Structures are given as structure tokens and as C-alpha cells.
Chain A
Amino acid sequence: MEGELMEADVVVSSRLSFKKIQSSEKYPKGQSTRRWKHLKQILQSENCTPDLPNYVNIESPPSTQPCKRICDVTGFEAPYVDPRTNLRYANAHVFKTLRSLSPDQVHQYLSIRNAAVVLK
């Protein structure tokens, strides 16, 4: 390896003295993409008693306050919704820019709000 890299010492060496089993033995090459369970799967397979608090239990409830509607493009208060694209807008000026957006951008704006319709 280059001298500079050795000097920087950023790389984790593959053989460490304090480890009982080295990583290279544990994860032989080619198999390194082991299937780790994602959070959803972990939660599903968890044996949870509803009395005691557990990961799922302590999720917050949905909000009771009225939903705040702000314009997707500018951030102002937005009482209006564009029927064609479902974007919220604040006034006519913003509306004009809305209509001139490309479908890609519209999709992105909506997906920020988690309101995009994904056609598979």
C-alpha cells in the first residue's frame, strides 16, 4: 500500500490481536452479503408481551392536532390544492410555477410529503 495510506492508517487491518475470531474467517469472501434481518423482520419475530414496554409498544400515537397545510413549493400557508397534481399552493403566482413543473419534480414534491402515487 502506498506510504501515505500507511501513514494515515485509516484502513482497518484484517488481523487484530484482540479478536478471538478474525473477520476474514467469520465472513469468508464471497459470502459477505449475509442476509441480516431488517428491523421489520426482527419486530415480527419478536416475542412481545403487551404488558411490558417493547419496541413496538412505545411508538407514538398519531397527532390529534389539525394537520398543518403548507405550500409544497414555497412553504407558505396553503389553503388550496391543485386538482391535477395534488400539490398544495399558496397563491396564483405559485400556481403558475406549479403548472410548469415537470412530472419528475411533481413526483418528488409529493414523495417528500409521502403522498406520491407509485405506479408499479
Chain B
Amino acid sequence: MTDDDGDQINRVGRGSMSFVPRIRRQTDYNTYPPSIPIVIDNGASYFRIGWAGETEPRVVFRNIVQRPRHKATGETVTIVGDLDPALMKYFDCTRSGPRSPFDSNVVYQFEIMEYILDFAFDRLGANGSRIDHPILITECACNPVQSRSKMAELLFETYGVPAVAFGVDAAFSYKYNQLHGICKEDGIVLCPGFTTTHAIPFVDGEPVYKGSCRTNIGGYHVTDYLKQLLSLKYPFHSSRFTWEKAEDLKLEHCYIAPDYASEVRLFQEGTKEAEEKTRYWQLPWIPPPTEVPPSEEEIARKAAIREKQGQRLREMAEAKKLSKINEMESELSSLRFLVKQLDQVEEDDIPTFLSDTGYASRQELESTILKVTQSLRKARGEPMNEPSEIEENTDSLNNEKYPLMNIPDDMLTPEQLKDKKRQMFLKSTTEGRLRARQKRNEEELEKERRNQLEEERRRENPEFYLEEMRAQYKEVLERVEQKKRLKTNGSSNGNNKSGGVGRGERLSAAQRERMRLLTTAAFDRGKGEDTFGARDEDWQLYKLMSKDNDDDDEQPDSDEAELARLTSRLQEIDPTFVQKVEGENQTPGEVPRVRQLTEEDYKIVIGIERFRCPEILFHPNLVGIEQVGLDEMAGASIRRLPHEETELEEKKLTSSILMTGGCSLLPGMKERLEYGIRMIRPCGDPIIVVRAMDPVLDAWRGASAFAANLNF
């Protein structure tokens, strides 16, 4: 038999947040006779089950179910409650997020409910062919009939329960506290729960549901708000802010400010109190291995090593030079010997004589001698009279190598013409090289001169010079950045309205040009036939297009070179100069990684969030929910009470206001409620707000007491 009109009390509470360890199966199931009811507190956050008449529920766990696949066998298993992270490795949890049977505070997924009940009864030690005990289960206030009937169906048909009763958890909690004298017969219970908050008035010890009201905000929303705020504030660490972590933070650090505006002002002005109220959470951070400035001995040692190495190299070079000199000397002497021999030989025998040695004529021989002496002198390190010698050489070489140059064309045979062409080519290349070298020398001299000028200017007027440089630098930087921006179509700043939808790209000039060319090429000239490509000039189109792209790349080079020069200059002379790195302007969403990540970056500051998040309980429109907050709910509920029933004294109601539910554990709630309710009640009314003895477990206890008393 169901107890529909009985005490319907709402209970959506939360338990302790510490990870619930593995629940041992209870062993004393059989010691309880079938008349003892089982009491279930079915909350959106936690599920509590136990025996009637006791003060503590036997089994408590979080009301969620996961169905991961077992990695080894591949079958899908069901796990209820929090999963020990150590055991997670056995399961493939990708497709199984935690699922709850609740939608807001109403049960709608009965398959999951069944798994949960399975687990609960199993842990309670149930055995036998059916559950033999009557069950008292809690639900939300004014539970829709469908949900209730399905729950009853589940219990009766699947578990074979003999009797079922439903109750509202907030009412249970109130009655329990009334028993213990904390609140009076008439009063209001305010129950901020996990997903919803209820305010239910009590008259003569009975809850009046007509006057109750419910706001769809609860602990879940507070945690969610905290999580989102932190993720947005620290996008770099957003993976750290899991829902569980946010809940832990909330439990530890959140409080309710007696007056939001004044608290905020404290923080805004940065007072010392604000500083005290801020909490820091330091994430683990390993600093990159800093380079310890080498100690003196190390420096000395390194210098010594380097010197030794240098010494060795020098010695090797010396040795090589010596050997080379020796070689050349020997060669020279042999050549001279040869020349002397040549003198002795007669004119006609020269070619045959020389054919052994590999030299064609006497002149060649002499030129080789000259070369060797030259290199010898160089090796010995004697200063050479460069230009004149080179000139001499080139002249003589010219005359030798290019004997055909000076003879006009018509006097030569075709073969000789070919030779002449070759010689001309050679000559021009060597001359070109010479000219290039000269030009480089000149340029260097020029640069030197300019540098000296600048140095002088700097010495005269250091401040002014610095300013000039800085201004120049800024200008050039601007230009370069702009060009870059144009080129890469950066437009993250430009298109905020559409929120990223639509084309955020502006085509650069080059791309636009290309498009234009392509479209004109593809344009059907009305002849009905595509004649592109028939004429050769059409293909020039592609050349144009690619050239456009190339041009773009060349232009900024001059600017960039200028920029580089200025930066180096500034770095030398300006001690306060900091190179502006490009990364800072582009994507501000991510941390500019160019600067070293310091310990500071890993410190999460939780200052204002501490009281900003629970504030939504009092002002749900901060998160967009258009309903009254906690303090006004009391007023609304009083207003709704039908007045014709009894001679109500509203004062009686407000003098006994009970807070239960998990969220009421937040510090500062009591003062805030008093203050809030005082604002909406007429002046002088007694307002007493009390907190339940144990906001979390009181509902279960109340239900247990109720079940023990009532005969089902």
C-alpha cells in the first residue's frame, strides 16, 4: 500500500565529500525481522540506505552509475557510485560517462535506478528470493505521478517489496529537528539541495505544500559556476578543473559574504583584508633546470682547456706550414735546376728535353717558378706587394692566356675564333670578380664610416639619440607587423560579433588579385565555348599569378632587415630595451609562451570566487535563472500560504526557520539569511534562523525515526 497523502517531505541532500571507500557488504541482513522497514534517502547527489530506527545509514554512495567495458573480456559492466581510480585501468571508460537517474530532482531513468537499487540492496546484504521488508523512500516535493508510479512499479515488481511509502526529505528533516527541539511546530524549512532549493512552511507540525516553492538552483550550479569561472580565468590549466576538483574547492573555500557589495569593494580596493581572504592553490611545477652561473674555478678550468686546444691547433698549423714550405722549397730548387739544365741544352732540343718533365716550354717553366716563389713568400708570412704583383701577373697572364684577344677577328681561323671567345669569357669573369671584390671593400669602408659617425653622434647626445632610435624602431616594427597581419589574414580582433561564425579571413591583396585573374580567365565570353588556352598569351596568366605571390615575399625584406639592424643596435646601447616579441599581440587566449613560465603562472588565485559562487543561491539571475533567491523564497512561501485556513501568525513562521540540505553547510549562510529575510518582512518581526543538527544526514534520520514509529 502506498502512502500518498502522508508526510511528503522533500529531501535532496548531500553527504560528505570524502571519497567513499569500498562498501563492505553488510552481514546482518538476516537478523532483521521482516517487519523492520528499510529506509532509503534517494537524493540527487547521494543515496543512503539503512534500517529504520537507527541513527546512521548503513550504505552511502554517490547516486551515479557508470557502464564501462571491461578491457579484457569486452563485456559491459555496471559500476555504481564513485570508482576507485586505481581500478579504472581495467576498464575502457571512453563511452561511459557517469549517468544519474535524475533530471533535476525527479527520477526519470529507471534503468539506472534499478542498477542503483541492485547495488544498494546487495550491499545491505540482501539475499533470499525477494526483499521482504517494507520500504520508505524519499522523493522530491510534489513528485510527478508518473515518476512515483514507475518507482513503485519497479520496487513491487522487480524486488517483490511488500509495501512502499514515499516521503519528502525536507519534511523528514524538519520533523526530526522538531523532535529534538531545534525548531518549533510552526516554521519554514529552507532546503538548498543539489539541484533545487525548496521552501516549505509548516503549520501545526504539518507541511503545507500549497505554500511551498522551489527554485531550480542548488549545489550543482554553484560547483558548475566555479568550474567555469576558473577555466576561463586560467585557460592554460583548464584540464585541471574537473567537476570533482571544483566541488572539493567549493567545500573547502567557499563562503557566503554577509553583504556582497561591500566584500567586493574590499577586493577591488586591494585592501589587506582582501589579501587575507585570498587563497592560493599552487599547482605542481618543475622549474626548468636553471643554468647555474659557473663558479670561478669552472671558468678558469674551461679557459685553460680552451687555451690548450688553441695551442694544439696552432702547433698543428705551424707544422703544416713548415712542411708546405719545405715542399715548395724543394720544388723550387728542382725547377731552378731544370732551368739551369735548359740553359745548357741547345735550343732545338728543348721540347724533347722538356717532354720528360711535363712542361711544354721555357716560359711555362718560368711562370711556375714565379708562382712557387710567390706562395713560398706568402707561407713564410712576408708582406707582399699585392696589387702591383697581381697586376703584373694579370698583365702577363693576360698576354699569355689571351694571346688571341688582341688580334682582330677577321684574321683568325674559326678554331681560333672559338678560342678567342673562350678567352673573352674567362677574362670577363675574372674581371667581374675583381670588380665585385672592390665594391665590397668600398661598402665596408662606407659602413665603417657611418658607424663612426653614429658613434660620435651618440657620444655627443646620448639621450636624444636613444629616443630617435626607439622611435625609429617602433615605426619599423609597426610596418612589419602590419604587413605580416595582412599577409596572414589575421583578423581575430575584427570579427567578434558573429562569434566566430562566418568567414573571418580577409583576403590579402595578392589573393584578391589571383581571384580576379582566375575569374576573368574563366569568364565565358559569350561565345558559348571556352577558348582559354587556345592562345599562348593566356598561359601568361599563371605567370602573373605566381609572380604576385613572390612579390609579396620580397618587399618586407628591406623592412625586416632594417628592423633587425635597429634591434641589435638598441640592444647594445640601451639597457632598458626589451625586444617586442610578436607572439604577444596575436592570440591572447593562450599564454604568450615566449616568456619563461614562472612559478606564478602555476598559482591559482581564488579570491573573489570564494563568495561569488555561492552568491547565486541568493541571486539566481547571476547565472540567468529568473527566479527568487533563498532569502526571498521564504517571503514567497509565506505569501502563498492560504490565509483562510487558520489564524496564522506569520511571526510564528519566521521565528523558526530551519536550514537543511547540503548547501546549508556553507559558512555565513545563517547571517545572510537573517539579513535577507529581515529585509522583506515587516519591521520588528522576530526572525530566528537555525541550522539543522546535521544538514546532510538529518533527512535520513528523520525518515528512519518516522518509519520506526509508524506502523505500516
Contacts and interface: CB of A to CB of B under 8 A. Distances in A.
Interface of A: 1-2, 4-5, 8-13, 16-21, 23, 26-27, 32, 34, 36-39, 42-43, 45-47, 52-55, 57-65, 67-68, 70, 73-77, 84-85, 90, 99-109, 112-115, 117, 119
A113 B627 contact: no
B111 A27 contact: yes
Interface in B463-510: 492-493, 495-501
A112 B623 contact: yes
A12 B118 contact: yes
Interface of B: 22, 25, 70, 72-73, 77-81, 83-84, 87, 90, 103-104, 106, 108-111, 114-115, 118-119, 121-122, 126-131, 140-147, 157-160, 209-210, 212-216, 225, 228-229, 232-233, 235, 260-261, 264-265, 267-268, 492-493, 495-501, 587-589, 608-609, 612, 619-629, 632-633, 636
Most chain A CB inside 10 Å of its own CB: which residue of B109, B140, B142: B142
Contacts of B87: 4-5, 8, 10
Contacts of A90: 268
B658 to A, nearest CB: 18
Contacts of B496: 84-85, 103, 106
A62 B72 contact: no
Contacts of A34: 111
Contacts of B213: 58-61
A93 B159 CA distance: 63
Contacts of A70: 264, 612, 622
Nearest to B113: A36
A20 B589 contact: no
A10 B609 contact: no
B126 A58 contact: no
A106 to B, nearest CB: 7
B194 to A, nearest CB: 15
Nearest to B123: A9
Contacts of A84: 496-497
Nearest to B108: A36
Contacts, number: 213
Contact of A106 (B77, B143, B499, B620): B499
B626 A63 contact: yes
A37 B108 CA distance: 7
B632 to A, nearest CB: 6
Contacts of B225: 112
Nearest to B502: A119
A100 B306 CA distance: 51
A104 B212 CA distance: 40
Given A84-B497, A102-B492, A112 B228 contact: yes
B228 A43 contact: no
Contacts of A105: 232, 235, 589
Contacts of A114: 623-625
Nearest to B208: A53
Contacts of A74: 608
Nearest to B210: A53
A1 B73 contact: yes
Contact of A61 (B143, B158, B265, B636): B636
B621 A10 contact: no
Nearest to A118: B499
Given A16-B122, A19-B158, A63-B629, A58 B141 contact: yes
B624 A113 contact: yes
B118 A61 contact: no
Contacts of A37: 108, 146
B268 A32 contact: no
7 nearest A-B pairs in the assembled complex, by CB-CB distance:
A114-B624, A102-B589, A75-B608, A39-B103, A100-B588, A53-B209, A103-B500
B628 A63 contact: yes
A77 B259 CA distance: 13
B622 A113 contact: yes
B147 A42 contact: yes
Nearest to A67: B621
A11 B77 contact: yes
A20 B111 contact: no
B115 A23 contact: yes
